């Protein structure tokens, strides 16, 4: 059963080939037996999952159940889940039991989906390798000596190892698309505001966006159909009609205008990765798409702008974790200052501390205009690059990550080298655009990701473009070595 996609599993449930309880037990058994090798889950909610599966079977028997009713999924441990630990992979929240559900969790519950558990991640979503987790690093199922990408590495590894058919994730600067690329998956980051952020613990509020990690674009469409909604509880959520994201999947690509930005194919891109991307471009040409050279001239400023804006917002968002109201509290504080200092020093990891300090510095009175305000001005230029490009093309195509998965520890001592892993994905978040990564081949037996960027609220078109590629190729069907 675990070899099937979500769409195939949904059909199997309706054909009574198996029940949701049987399917859920199957995945729970695999998690218990296999996940110690990958560390993709922080919390497994077996009892809750089986109870949800039993209710889903009742709904399925009565007919007219939503398409994902009875389908097991995993939630990234950044989304609040009522009565279940929500840790953000941090010692700071190791003892936090969420008192409510995030909106997207409620949406999946209403659809009858089954929650298998909460997946591992970089601490507070800060990282590109899933090495900053308080619960230890996640290992890439394609090569357990390599990272799975971050920050949604646990979600990616769980799907790549067939320990869940699909998983929720979040993307602040590439944290869905980069793990998708490194683990051979389909990773979708919707338009900013398309999916509610209510109940998603904030890293950088103007950049964070919930999305999906699946094996196929069709499965991503099914998940987005469930999680996309207008939410009045989230002031950043946009009241935009939710379309059926599966409706366009089978449309031919004849006449599709694909933009190829020259800035995405320069120095720093692994030569073999570039070849796999070029091969994918040729596939699109054979499907009837037309190729157009474009320029995104401010691309080189995306990383420095992001690493001012994101830490600034993180320093503000994480100021609430002080050892007073909830979260980790140091033992026997001498006074209030000691309580604050030791609780935060003990509760946060090194990368989180680094970003808090950078952000506080950028927001300080003497440097606000020089750094934060300037970064926001650069952000506007980056957005305008995309606006101009989409006047002439329908989709922008390029690599997702500069190279395949890298070895553990190879970049941890060089934060800048780690930050550059997101060089092709960050601009999409700064502009608030939807982005998607799909597998397009292997380099040294490790997956390579192809990134597609669409115009605002063009998720249906992006999924169509990805689905047609997957109909013409079999990269999405390739499985990590040794996966049963």
**250-304, pLDDT tens digit by residue?**
999 999 999 999 999 988 899 999 999 999 999 999 999 999 999 999 999 999 9
Q: Provide block-wise average pLDDT over 10 residues at a time, the chain (484 residues).
A: 96 97 98 98 98 98 94 98 98 96 98 98 96 98 97 98 98 97 98 98 97 98 97 96 96 97 93 97 98 97 96 96 91 95 96 96 91 96 98 98 95 84 95 98 97 98 98 96 84
Of 87, 90, 151, 437, which one is the catalytic site residue?
151
> pLDDT tens digit string along 320-346?
999 998 889 999 999 999 999 999 999
Catalytic residue of the set 76, 118, 446, 461:
76
151 annotated active-site: yes
Half-sphere exposure of 47 (CA within 13 A, CB side): 2
Q: How far apart are CA 131 and CA 403, in angstroms?
A: 18
Q: For 263-284, b where at least 16 C-beta lie within 10 A, e where not — what string? A: bbeeeebbeebbebbeebbebb
The structure tokens listed for 242 are 């939710």
Choose the catalytic residue: 175, 196, 315, 401: 175
Token pair of 302, please? 């995306």
41-44, strands of its sheet edge to edge: 41-44, 114-119, 72-76, 166-171, 209-214, 186-189, 435-443, 446-454, 395-399, 257-261, 290-294
Say whether 445 is catalytic: no
Q: Where are the beta strands (DSSP E) in 184-305?
A: 186-189, 209-214, 257-261, 290-294
**Domain 6-254 class in CATH:** alpha beta
Residue 361 CB-density burial (10 A; 0-12 exposed, 13-18 middle, 19+ buried): middle
The question of whether 152 is a catalytic residue gets the answer: no
């Amino acid at each position: 059963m675990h070899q099937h996609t979500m769409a195939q599993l949904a059909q199997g449930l309706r054909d009574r080939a198996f029940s949701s309880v049987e399917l859920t037990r199957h995945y729970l058994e695999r998690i218990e037996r296999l996940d110690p090798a990958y560390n993709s889950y922080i919390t497994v909610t077996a009892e809750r999952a089986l109870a949800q599966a039993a209710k889903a079977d009742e709904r399925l028997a009565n007919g007219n159940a939503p398409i994902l009713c009875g389908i097991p999924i995993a939630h990234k441990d950044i989304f609040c889940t009522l009565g279940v630990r929500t840790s953000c992979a941090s010692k700071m929240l190791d003892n936090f039991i969420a008192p409510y559900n995030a909106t997207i969790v409620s949406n999946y519950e209403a659809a009858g989906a089954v929650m298998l558990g909460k997946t591992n991640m970089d601490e507070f979503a800060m990282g590109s390798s899933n090495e900053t987790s308080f619960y230890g690093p996640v290992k890439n199922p394609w090569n357990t000596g390599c990272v799975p990408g971050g920050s949604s590495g646990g979600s990616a590894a769980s799907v790549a190892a067939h320990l869940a058919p699909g998983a929720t994730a979040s993307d602040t600067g590439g944290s869905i698309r980069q793990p998708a690329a490194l683990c051979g998956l389909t990773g979708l980051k919707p338009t900013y505001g398309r999916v509610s952020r209510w109940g998603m613990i904030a890293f950088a509020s103007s950049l964070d966006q919930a999305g999906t990690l699946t094996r196929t674009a069709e499965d991503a469409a099914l998940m987005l159909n469930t999680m996309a909604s207008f939410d009045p509880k989230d002031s950043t959520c946009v009241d935009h009609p939710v379309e059926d994201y599966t409706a366009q999947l089978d449309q031919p690509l004849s006449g599709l205008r694909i933009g190829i930005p020259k800035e995405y194919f320069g120095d720093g891109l692994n030569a073999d990765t570039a070849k796999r991307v070029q091969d994918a471009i040729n596939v699109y040409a054979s499907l009837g798409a037309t190729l157009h050279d474009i320029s995104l001239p401010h691309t080189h400023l995306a990383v420095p702008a992001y690493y001012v804006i994101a830490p600034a917002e993180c320093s503000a968002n994480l100021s609430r974790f002080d050892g007073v109201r909830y979260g980790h509290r140091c033992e026997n504080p001498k006074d209030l200052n000691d309580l604050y200092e030791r609780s935060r020093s003990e509760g946060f990891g090194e990368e989180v501390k680094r970003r808090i300090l950078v952000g506080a510095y950028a927001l300080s009175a003497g440097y606000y205009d020089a750094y934060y305000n300037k970064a926001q001005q650069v952000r506007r230029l980056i957005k305008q690059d995309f606006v101009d490009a989409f006047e002439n093309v329908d989709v922008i195509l390029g690599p997702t990550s500069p190279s395949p998965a890298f070895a553990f520890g190879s970049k941890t001592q060089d934060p800048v080298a780690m930050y550059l892993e997101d060089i092709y994905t960050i601009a999409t978040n700064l502009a608030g655009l939807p982005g998607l990564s799909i597998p397009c081949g292997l380099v040294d037996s490790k997956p390579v990701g192809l990134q597609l960027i669409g115009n605002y609220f063009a998720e249906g078109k992006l999924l169509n473009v990805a689905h047609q590629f997957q109909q013409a190729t079999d990269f999405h069907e390739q499985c990590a070595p040794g996966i049963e």
